[in-house]
Amino acid sequence: MTKKILIIDDEPDITYTIKNILEDNGFSADTFNDPILGLNNYKVNFYDLVILDIKMPKINGFELYIKIREQDPKSKICFLTAITTFNEDFRKTRLALGKTINEDYFQKPIKIQDLVKKLTSIMNI
């Protein structure tokens, strides 16, 4: 059974590249470059994994994470970021929200084999 992944990132070149890499490695991927549109098209229990960019216009990845969690508390979610201070931003966001966010993240740029290996591990394939 093909694993379905949702990618929400405001950079079309990133979503295009990741989608192609994933599909070349046996995954199915839907992409959105508008985070609001991605949220509006999110389907509970449909995706095996959601990958969210952190810095996006309209709504950032952390806010989007909370909105998806409200709909689907069991969804597996990973963050995609080029932010070098990710861990500190993550900690501050957790404290500000008063919630625990315990998710994996990918640091841009990521090597193809590392991306596939990490996704395989996260989804227990």
DSSP states of 71-122: H-TT--EEEEE--TTHHHHHHHHHHHHTS----EEEESS--HHHHHHHHHHH
Alpha-carbon span 24 to 18, nearest angstrom: 10
pTM for the structure as a whole: 0.84
Q: Tokens representing 57?
A: 């216009």
Q: What is the pLDDT of residue 74?
A: 85
pLDDT band per the 50, 70, 90 thresholds, residue 31: very high
Q: What is the pLDDT of residue 100?
A: 54
Give the domain range for residue 92.
4-122
Whole-Å CA distances, 12 to 53, 66, 77, 112, 116: 12, 23, 20, 18, 20
CATH code at position 81: 3.40.50.2300
- How many domains does the chain contain in total? 1
**What percentage of residues in the chain have a pLDDT greater than 90?**
48
The per-residue pLDDT for range 32-55, each reduced to its tens digit, is 999 999 999 999 999 999 999 988
